[in-house]
Structure 1
């Protein structure tokens, strides 16, 4: 019954509005007459009063119809709609005065009636619609669920737009109670009725004072250092923290403003701008046969996705893990279907004959080599396996790429290759040496890309911390002073593909990764972002540095420097000397023999000989 009633009202909304305006306009026209002339004098104006009332109402309703006033959805009315009411009212009263002067003589209707009726009619028309909007929103708010009490961080244009959108949407979950801004001139002022009650330093106190449960950070133009500072303050509360993205990106994405407000991500706490490289790149993969080893891993799978979007001639995904390869295969097939020529090979790069067969059969023009063992503590206990997979696998691919005329070979390295203290880092440094030595004697372009920890990648610290927090703790940190470089997967993949575009051979590329992030701070912030307090709700335990682990990472050796490239965030490591191709190959065969004889001590000694900066861990677990 209620639904039928609502449907009837909606279908006849226009007619009801017209009837409502006829009644209110009639009243607003008659009231001035009564006030000015009195009831006894109205008898003398009976004929004039009736005809002029009809004319008055007719002028208004006609103008309202022609200007689309009855087509507006007043439940969503904004200042523009109310301005239109005023303009339409002025037009209507102007037409009414003009017509009455023509039809009647100019002294028939008192001028005070013109003035008062125009003011009354405009005011009643305007406020009736405003009242409807307010009453409807109040009814929806009361009928809905309890809304989140929100503190807006920021009081600029973005915050003003956000507040306006929240007030406009009667179904929103947000109830704004106050705002903060670091501009002292804005303190105690208001934005659309929202009072600016302090600076960002006052957030913890205001959260308690105003019973806030959600913080909306509306400062998209603030630099990353300030954003990190503000988010650190916000994270010390138990509030849900949400961010308003950059307005220009929001416009290009086509999302609604409130839909685009997102939760805080770990990368927001890095303290630097995200590196966004030129999208017109990818020239190294367009129309090419491209092979990605380790294509089922975090970096490899993102490489496959980015390359698939760049119209390669064929994409060859190589991985030893069938499950990982299958997931990426299904993802790409669902997105591209037959438009992408995708080949999946389940193979180990250790198998030189299999590698040779793949090269002979598929004839890749570009290779991105991401397959590797990368877990530092595990490789400390199995150095021979690290050599078999990382070093021997890379050598097999490098050698086969040379024989089958691959155009470019890009190797995924790590900052742990610099002054390595771990087996994994040392194997990566040896791989860089193999590439540089081979580049000197081959027509294939061989280059390496170094970067730090990838946020959210398989086996990285972020998923580990999140799992520990979900389990109620404790969160384990190796050392209170340990720091690391971090980058997002998209940044890492952008760097790799861009490196392939500008590589001419023999380079080791590095990225300007900003400041190193303290792992303890990262753990504390993740705990707070989950709604807990570190050391009270979730404990943090220090387990000690693991074998092969450093307190801090380096991107270049002390004796090395960097050379600028065409991209402001990408640099080339300036090596001191070249590498003897014959000497490197001789050392490789000796290292391989030791690895396949499972001589752990011999492997470690040979790696230390090949990489003089390799500092072996004293502990073996």
Structure 2
């Protein structure tokens, strides 16, 4: 494994789907201590049981990102914060917009303030394609979180964003919902043309490691992803259920984007991922500063992106 070590790392939402995976990965580095910060005591207990003896290098801190002072306590001695805590269910956020903004916007502001108060040197914010030209409360809240993080970046406090697609199998995701349906049951999709970017945990791990190892902030990192028609996804994951098509939901899109038209003009690429900078850079400047080269994409959306070519690839998440 490459060396991306930080002596002490705090993960907000660290007992959740992506966070708990990151905890296990970080603990493979023998000199790393992890702080798991979240408000769900049952998930803390389950993760502690799952980690076994490795849990001796983990501090399990019950707390809410709405509480800046509690965050500051948890940040003591921490070098890197991975901010993954959020309200994520699109429908729930629509029904509870005030609570969504308290967690996803004010909570992110609290994470930034607490980290800077405590001398943390690096912050990585976990975002989503729904933050790009958002149409939902959730998407708007994550867009605001991205802006707060990028605005906080400085030489002393390297703050960056990683923007993912839909993580395969995460709680509440389409794959998770399909796994809970029985043969003959019906799922309703609001459009037959619905497409989404899909991402794997392993790809997410590699992207986070890539930014951990870099000596700069102020950027948005996005993976190279392929897309899938959601109707095809249903056929792969639950071939025995029925599909019904209904009207569009006002807070969801037919297709998702991973970059806006404006961001495409500031995009660079490496072999493994894309990088959105705060200003357009000449080739030499981008190469010198980021080890990347400018790229000129006309779009990066799930409608025009390369699709998975076979059901076998999709099952494997490749």
Normalised to the residue count of structure 2, the TM-score between the two structures is: 0.83
CA gap of 1:503–1:389, structure 2 versus 1, over 3 A, is: farther
Q: Residue 299 of structure 1 aligns with which residue?
A: 18
Query: Equivalents in 2 of 1:483, 1:310: separation in Å?
Result: 38
- Where does the alignment leave 5 or more consecutive residues of structure 2 unmatched? 281-318
Q: Distance in 2 between matches of 1:554 and 1:310?
A: 35
> Partners in 2 of 1:551 and 1:419 — Cα distance?
13
Aligned to 1:527: 238
Task: Tell me the CA shift for residue 576 of structure 1.
Answer: 5.0
Matched residue of 2:123: which SS?
strand
2:146 maps to what in 1?
Answer: 432
Match of 1:378 among 76, 81, 92: 92
Q: Which whole-Å CA distance do the structure 2 matches of 1:391 and 1:303 have between them?
A: 23
1:414 maps to 2:128? yes
Does the 8 A contact of 2:194 with 2:231 survive in 1? Answer: yes
Q: Out of 188, 191, 195, which is 1:483 matched to?
A: 195
The runs of 5 or more residues in structure 1 that have no matched partner are: 1-278, 533-537, 578-621
Alignment partner, residue 161 of structure 2: 448
Equivalent position of 1:318 in the other structure = 37
> Where has structure 1 moved over 4 Å in runs of 4 or more?
none
Q: How many residues align?
A: 279
- Give the secondary structure class of the aligned counterpart of 2:23: helix
Q: Secondary structure at the match of 1:485?
A: strand
CA distance, structure 2, for counterparts of residue 321 and residue 346 of structure 1: 7
State the distance in 1 between where 2:62 and 2:183 align. Answer: 35
Match of 2:66 in 1: 350
SS at match of 1:306: helix
How does the TM-score come out when normalised to structure 1?
0.43
Deviation string for 1:521-554 (max 9, x for gaps)?
A: 11122233xxx4xxxxx32112333331011111
User: Which secondary structure does the structure 2 equivalent of 1:560 belong to?
Assistant: helix
Please give the secondary structure, in 2, of the residue aligned with 1:559. Answer: helix
Cα–Cα, structure 1 residues 287 and 489, in superposed 2: closer, same or farther, change >3 Å?
A: closer
Q: Structure 1 residues 479 and 433, CA, compared in 2 at 3 Å: closer, same or farther?
A: same
Greater C-alpha radius of gyration? 1
What are the residue-to-residue correspondences of 1:98-137 with 2, within 5 Å? none
Query: How far is 1:443 from its partner?
Result: 1.1
Identify the residue that residue 498 of structure 1 maps to in structure 2. 210
For 1:313 and 1:521, locate their aligned partners in 2 and report how far apart those are by CA, in whole Å. Answer: 41
Q: CA RMSD in A?
A: 1.8
Matched-pair contact (CA < 8 Å) for 1:449–1:496: yes
Q: Counterpart of 1:327 in 2: which secondary structure?
A: helix
Q: Which has the higher helix share?
A: 1
1:463 maps to 176
Deviation at 1:363, TM superposition (A): 1.9
Q: Give, in whole Å, the separation in 2 of the partners of 1:569 and 1:545.
A: 34
Matches within 5 A, 1:560-579: 560-561=263-264, 563-565=267-269, 567-575=270-278
Distance in 2 (CA, whole Å) between partners of 1:394 and 1:510 is 20
Q: 1:302 touches 1:490 (CA, 8 Å); kept in 2?
A: no
Which residue number corresponds to residue 403 of structure 1? 117
CA contact (8 A) 2:268 2:276 kept: no
Distance 1:328 1:545 in 2: 38
Deviation of 1:356 (Å): 2.1
Query: Could you tell me which residue of structure 1 aligns to residue 311 of structure 2?
Result: none
